[in-house]
């Protein structure tokens, strides 16, 4: 049994888990125009408005976001900032932080044939999982997952496998990504960014909004938690992943890869679809994603499934999304409610189910969180809660 002993989250919805839940409860959507960099693109985005000074790292915003989230998760787990005496692995997903995409550096090189090495050094010292591992003196396996939008979910799945196979006793797992000009231009060019606030699963959805943040779980073997005198009502019970083998950017229309990922996560957990209390869907609000995901969820779970997308509160945070949504799912299981799926108003007749439109109480001991990625990877996590 792999316990979830710590949760940490930062996004436009809040600087920590408690603030985020409050935003969810109040249906607050903290979106606005881009302030982090100059761009003529006028899409609404979900920025994190405040990074405390002690976490600020020049030119490495993704790492700052990750640090905040990891710090919160470690405190929640009752762990110190020096983990050197424990067998702790670090597996984190990202997209932006893995690329040397510093425009100033590149423009200088392009124009003059030379450029400052400061951005290069920042990049070389900024591998997300390596940075966090060194910062907290973790002595277990280290891996940065770069699986586009499923990176965070896959990172948690990898960490789960590490723990089950004895590679470490504790793992820091999740994802982090900053809002950055390069992907904003890129997603804009693909024609899948909305000029309005996103509306996941809505009939009139016009595309995604980009966001930023970090979401991290501390997961731990039962024996390790017991040695530390910790207990938890939450546990990570299963992970599934499967590839579409179809297209670089479009999901497979029949959802077969997503279905296999979900069924694997359920079988890993030893449960049936009916045991799932709610699904925190990927729900980006693009035409293709929501159609394929909604149809697949309806096929597996039926039309009465309680489901939502939290991207109406956070935007699409790319490599952080799976981490954040795993944290939100775990917190919802503990709080026994899920928020309204922000942005939804009208049923799409091509999608067999509708997301919850009001704060809803949940029953059942399991939540499913799904991610679909560029490149055709699909990933699913099952999180459980023991009830007293």
Q: Is 50 a catalytic residue?
A: no
The Cα–Cα gap between 213 and 318 comes to 9
CB of 372 to other proteins, least distance (A): 13
Q: Are 367 and 218 in contact (CB under 8 A)?
A: no
110 by DSSP, 3-state: which?
Answer: helix
Between 162 and 301, whose beta carbon lies closer to other proteins?
A: 162
Least distance to other proteins from the beta carbon of 299, Å? Answer: 18
Which of 67, 148, 307, 372 is in the footprint of other proteins by CB under 8 A?
Answer: 148
Window 345-374: residues binding other proteins (CB under 8 A): 373-374
Q: Does 185 bind other proteins (CB under 8 A)?
A: yes
CA distance 148 to 95: 6
Q: Is 247 a catalytic residue?
A: no
Give the Cα separation of 292 and 306 in Å (integer).
17
- CA 155 distance to own-chain centroid: 10
What's the token pair of residue 382?
Answer: 């099952």
85 makes contact with other proteins (CB under 8 A): no
Which among 98, 168, 198, 316 is annotated as catalytic? Answer: 316
How many Å apart are CA 99 and CA 123, to the nearest integer?
8
Q: Is 248 in the site for other proteins (CB under 8 A)?
A: yes
Residues within window 13-42 making contact with other proteins, judged by CB under 8 A: 39-41
**Inter-axis angle of helices 256-269 and 287-301, nearest 10:** 40
249 lies in the site for other proteins, by CB under 8 A: yes
Q: Sort 339 into a burial class: Cβ within 10 Å, 0-12 / 13-18 / 19+.
A: buried
SS3 352: coil
Site stretch for other proteins (CB under 8 A), options 68-76, 106-114, 338-346, 352-360: 106-114
Q: Is 339 helix (H, G, I), strand (E, B) or coil?
A: coil
- Give me 144's structure tokens: 């940065």
Site for other proteins in 253-282 (CB under 8 A): 256-257, 260, 264
Q: How big is the site for other proteins, counted in residues (CB under 8 A)?
A: 69
Residues near other proteins, by CB under 8 A: 39-41, 95, 98-101, 103, 106-107, 109-110, 113-115, 117, 120, 124, 127, 129-130, 134, 139-148, 154, 158, 161-162, 164-165, 167, 181-191, 241-249, 256-257, 260, 264, 373-377
């Amino acid at each position: 049994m792999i316990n979830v002993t710590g949760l940490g989250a930062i996004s436009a919805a809040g600087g920590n888990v408690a603030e985020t839940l409050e935003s969810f409860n109040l249906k607050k959507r903290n979106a606005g125009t881009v302030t982090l960099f100059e761009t003529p693109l006028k899409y609404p985005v979900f920025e994190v408005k405040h990074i405390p000074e002690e976490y600020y790292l020049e030119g490495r915003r993704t790492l700052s976001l990750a640090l905040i989230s990891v710090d919160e998760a470690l405190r929640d787990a009752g762990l110190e900032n020096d983990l050197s005496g424990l067998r702790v692995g670090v597996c984190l997903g990202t997209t932006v932080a893995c690329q040397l995409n510093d425009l100033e550096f590149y423009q200088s090189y392009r124009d003059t044939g030379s450029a400052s090495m400061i951005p290069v050094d920042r990049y070389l010292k900024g591998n997300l999982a390596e940075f966090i591992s060194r910062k907290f003196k973790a002595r277990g396996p280290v891996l940065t997952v770069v699986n586009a939008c499923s990176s965070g979910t896959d990172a948690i799945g990898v960490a789960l496998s590490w723990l089950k196979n004895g590679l470490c006793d504790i793992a820091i797992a999740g994802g982090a990504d900053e809002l950055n000009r390069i992907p904003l231009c890129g997603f804009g060019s693909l024609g899948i960014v909305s000029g309005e606030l996103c509306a996941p699963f809505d009939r009139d959805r016009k595309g995604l909004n980009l966001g930023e943040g970090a979401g991290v779980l501390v997961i731990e073997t039962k024996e390790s938690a017991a040695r530390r005198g910790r207990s938890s009502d939450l546990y990570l019970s299963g992970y599934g992943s499967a590839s579409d083998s179809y297209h670089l950017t479009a999901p497979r229309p029949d959802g077969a890869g997503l279905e296999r990922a979900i069924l694997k996560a359920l079988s890993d957990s030893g449960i049936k679809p009916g045991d799932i209390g709610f699904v925190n869907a990927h729900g980006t609000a693009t035409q293709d994603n929501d159609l394929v995901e909604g149809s697949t969820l309806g096929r597996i779970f039926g039309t009465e499934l309680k489901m939502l997308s939290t991207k109406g509160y956070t935007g699409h945070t790319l490599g952080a999304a799976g981490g954040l949504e795993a944290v939100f799912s775990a917190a919802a299981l503990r709080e026994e409610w899920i928020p309204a799926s922000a942005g939804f108003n009208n049923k799409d007749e091509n999608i067999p189910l509708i997301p919850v439109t009001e704060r809803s109480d949940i029953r059942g001991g399991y939540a499913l969180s799904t991610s679909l990625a560029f490149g055709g990877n699909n990933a699913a996590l099952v999180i459980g809660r023991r009830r007293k």
